[in-house]
Structure 1
Amino acid sequence: MMFRIFGVRLKCISALVVICMFSPAASPAAIPEYSAISVEAETGLVLYEKNADTVRPPASMIKLFQMLLVSEGLEEGRWTLEQPITASRKAQHMGGTQVYLEAGDTFSLEHLMHAVSVASANDAAMAVAEGLWESEEAYLAAMNEMAAELGMESSEFNSVHGLPPDRGEDPDKTTARDMALLGRACVKVPQLLEWTSMRELQFRPGEALKYTTNKLMRRRDDMDGLKTGYIRAAGFCVTATLQKNGIRVISVVMGHTDKKERFDLAERLLDEGVALVRRDVFLPEEGSAVEGIGVGNCEVETTDLFASDGITLLTRRDEFDQIEIVYDHPKSLKAPLKKGDKVGTVSAVLGTTVLAERDLLVTEDLPEAGWGWRIEQTVLGWFGSN
């Protein structure tokens, strides 16, 4: 019969930092003033949200997909950074932010990706999409397939660049929550972060420098991405990230009415997010998880159990002391058992949510006792009971 041992509630020795963020409810009759969300990158733990599920255009933040798809292709060996890309007439006439490609201009894939990431160049984005996927339609299919794989359930993308749709075309749509999912995928890719970390670019010899559209990159050195966006229908947008003290946080702001305040809000959410998260070892990787459990039908009277792996969690500081370690195993074991056999579980639990679970394993072989030992124990039992 199994039983549950609720471990001692883990107490936080240090003072807890509790950050209170108020999210006012939006009027159902009006489009919310802006959307925002911040998440811990590794786990997706939501640290703050406001109107995070409101559907909006992403504007140029959509170009993060191109950076991710190209990085994936580079890693798989489908193309190289030195690969030449030739601009089409369609790329030449993209409009909006651009590096003024002419039809027939040829640049390396790497150089065009620099133009996409630093200058948010729409013509460069179209040239890459057509050059690597052979058509805009094939690229859009790949982009939407990746969005589905990432779980971006509220999103639909119909452009390479995020510009407003032409008459008869469908707009791009997504949410701050979905963009956070995309951001989490992006920060796992060193090549992509290298691109989004660039602060300036000279696209052609002798031309003036082009500076990153992400002003947060100019404010501080610990920022390494990711992408801004603006069209009238989208408002001012940014997906940003930083890593500090081993904690990486992503913030997304969409639909803001002020160009500068978009960055101020994103920066504040990042700093507050880092302060709100802590990483702690709840169960060491080495050592016994349960000591001295009795063993029946075996010459070994007691043994220890060990966990299949340690438990290290990233948690909100204001939830840390609510996490419990829960053991679930028999009161005693019965031979025969082999080293490594699973006999229970150990879990880290917050309320009714299991944050992590590990198997409890036998630390040694526990063979069934022979008849001689059993008879001896029976006889000793007789004398011991008199």
Structure 2
Amino acid sequence: MKEKPENTRLRIGLHKKGPGRGRQAGRRWAAFVMGLWMTLLQFVYGGLPAQAQVEVSAPSAILMEASTGQVLFELNATERRCPASITKIMTLLLTFEQIELGKISLEDNVITSEYASSMGGSQVFLAQGETQTLDTMIKCIAVASGNDASVAVAEHIAGSEEAFVALMNDKAGQLGMTDTHFEDCCGLTNSDGHYTTARDVALMSRELITKYPQVYNYTQIWMEDITHETRQGTTNFTLSSTNKLLKQYPYATGLKTGSTEKAKFCLAATARKDGIDMIAVVMGAPDPKGRFKDAQTLLTYGFNISAMYVDPNTDPLPSLAVERGVAEQVPLAYAGEFRYLDTQGRDLNRVEKVMELPESVQAPVEQGRQAGVAKYILDGVELGVVPILYGETVAKAAYSDYLHKIFREFLL
């Protein structure tokens, strides 16, 4: 992973024309022509595009880089399919969201209802009335894919599975999962009305791992014992991960498996290597081994072609002069870091950072409003921008403010 550039330039007065623009345009045009020529040569002598060389057994798949959301490979990624237990990714997402909001906590005691204990399929054999902490229930969902635990958590959060499913569908809409509709919280149903796509699974997986990376504390567990305490006594139960990729692929970090007769074999796999997080979604694989092989093929392909450029934007910014304000200057701040994923083997050491700011700004100035931009350029091509924001609010100076300033300068 390449860190921020050494070559940074500052352009003051971005609305003014200055000398050298023609030369810059000429250099950019030359770089564009050269880039086009190199791309043509690569196509002629390199054969088919790299994606065409990736083969998977599943009828639907996608590979996405998590931090940027960039798609590196897709095959029928918008085809609606039954998701089976990878439905639980949304259940986990909503659970961590509720924890963040302070509405529930990992120490909560979650009571298993009669309905939750009746779930078939993959389960951890929770008894009616059995209590487990939310922390343990999350392990039961993420490690052993417990349908009973999923329903118990859904009821704990929303009062009923039906109400929780409504939250799931609302969240899917917020994330732009346009080809998804949930009817349960665990994926046990075979209803035609319960469907999603590889693309949508990647979207909710990305939201989960980027916003709540603590989920890895659960999805990376291979085996762990829990204790059942019921009226019949106390027994130990071993949770065993359904994600065999944890043992087969050294960079695996999660995420969720799923299988039913209708869905066949599905997997949302996450992995990290050299600071890059990949998400590989495989749906409808013909056999259980095939889904893990497909995911590993996709992840390996992604890491082989990718290099990440990151600028954390922690360098200090100059203050900006303020005209007719109660303060003469206003501090500036970056809106955030900049990340760029390269899959073409370009030299990221050549990335140039150009900051464009006005010479001054007239009051009033509102904190958080955009003052300028930091542009990232490689061989004349703009890779992206990060807004530069006003760090404070500066009010417009009134007549009394000018008098106060004159009086203060007179005393000094």
> TM-score normalised by the shorter chain: which range applies?
0.7 to 0.9
Q: Report the 3-state secondary structure (helix = DSSP H, G, I; strand = E; otherwise coil) of the residue aligned with 1:111.
A: helix
- Residue 90 of structure 1 aligns with which residue? 115
Pick the aligned partner of 1:275 from 286, 304, 319: 304
1:66-81 alignment to 2 at 5 Å?
Answer: 66-81=91-106
Please give the secondary structure, in 2, of the residue aligned with 1:187: helix
- Measured in 2, the distance between the counterparts of 1:310 and 1:101 equals 45
Q: Does 1:175 align with 2:182?
A: no
Q: What TM-score does the superposition give when structure 1 sets the normalisation length?
A: 0.72
Instruction: From 218, 228, 241, give the equivalent of 1:212.
Output: 241
Contact 1:143–1:157 (CA under 8 A) maintained in structure 2: yes
User: What's the secondary structure of 1:192's corresponding residue?
Assistant: helix
Instruction: Report if aligned partners of 1:115, 1:201 keep a CA contact under 8 Å in 2.
Output: no
Corresponding residue for residue 21 of structure 1: 51
Report the AA paired with residue 91 of structure 1: A
Task: Give how far 1:49 is off.
Answer: 0.8
Alignment of 1:263-302 (within 5 A): 263-280=292-309
Relative to structure 1, is the Cα distance of residues 211 and 309 closer, same or farther in structure 2, using a 3 angstrom cutoff?
closer
Q: For 1:353-372, list aligned pairs within 5 A.
A: 355-358=383-386
Which amino acid letter does the alignment assign opposite residue 192 of structure 1? V
Aligned partner of 1:197 in structure 2 is 220
| Residue among 90, 95, 98 paired with 1:65 | 90
| Contact 1:345/1:360 (8 A) holds in 2 | yes
Q: Judging changes above 3 Å, is the alpha-carbon distance between structure 1 residues 319 and 149 closer, same or farther for their aligned structure 2 residues?
A: farther
- 1:242, distance to aligned residue in structure 2 (A): 1.0
1:114 to 136, 139, 156: 139
In structure 2, the partner of 1:367 is: none
Tell me the SS of whatever aligns to 2:52. coil
1:43 paired with 2:48, answer no
**Shift in alpha-carbon separation, 1:170–1:51, aligned structure 2, 3 A:** closer
> 2:292 is aligned with what amino acid?
F
Q: Give the Cα–Cα distance (whole angstroms) in 2 for the partners of residues 283 and 132 of structure 1.
A: 36
Cα drift, residue 343 of structure 1: 9.3
For residues 77 and 344 of structure 1, do their structure 2 counterparts lie closer, same or farther at Cα, with a shift above 3 Å needed?
Answer: closer
Kept after mapping to 1: 8 A contact 2:62/2:74: yes
TM-score, normalization: structure 2?
Answer: 0.68
Residue aligning to 1:154: 179
CA distance in 2, matches of 1:311, 1:157: 35
Q: Is 1:158–1:170's contact at 8 Å kept on the other side of the alignment?
A: no
- What percent identity do the matched residue pairs reach? 33
Shift of 1:285: 7.1
Which amino acid in structure 2 is aligned with residue 224 of structure 1?
Answer: T
1: CA distance, partners of 2:217 / 2:189:
28
User: What's the offset of the Cα at 1:317?
Assistant: 2.7
Secondary structure of the residue aligned to 1:55 is: coil
Unaligned runs of 5+ in 2: 1-15, 36-41, 228-233, 318-331, 390-412
Alpha carbons 2:370, 2:387 under 8 Å: kept: yes
- Residue in structure 1 matched with residue 341 of structure 2 by the alignment: 315
Choose from 177, 180, 184 the match for 2:206: 184
State which drifts further: 311-320 or 271-280.
311-320
Among candidates 283, 286, 309, match of residue 254 of structure 1: 283
Report the more deviating stretch, 315-324 or 58-67. Answer: 315-324
The count of residues paired between Structure 1 and Structure 2 equals 328
Cα shift readout 1:259-283 (whole Å, capped 9, x = no counterpart): 1011011012112212222123699
Q: Which residues of structure 1 form unaligned runs of 5+?
A: 26-31, 289-305, 362-386
Q: Return the offset for 1:355.
A: 4.2
Answer yes or no: is the 8 Å Cα contact 1:238–1:263 preserved in 2.
yes
Task: Give, in angstroms, the shift of residue 79 of structure 1.
Answer: 1.2
Q: 1:105 to 1:244 in 2, by over 3 A?
A: same
Judge conservation of contact 2:313–2:334 (CA < 8 Å) in 1: no
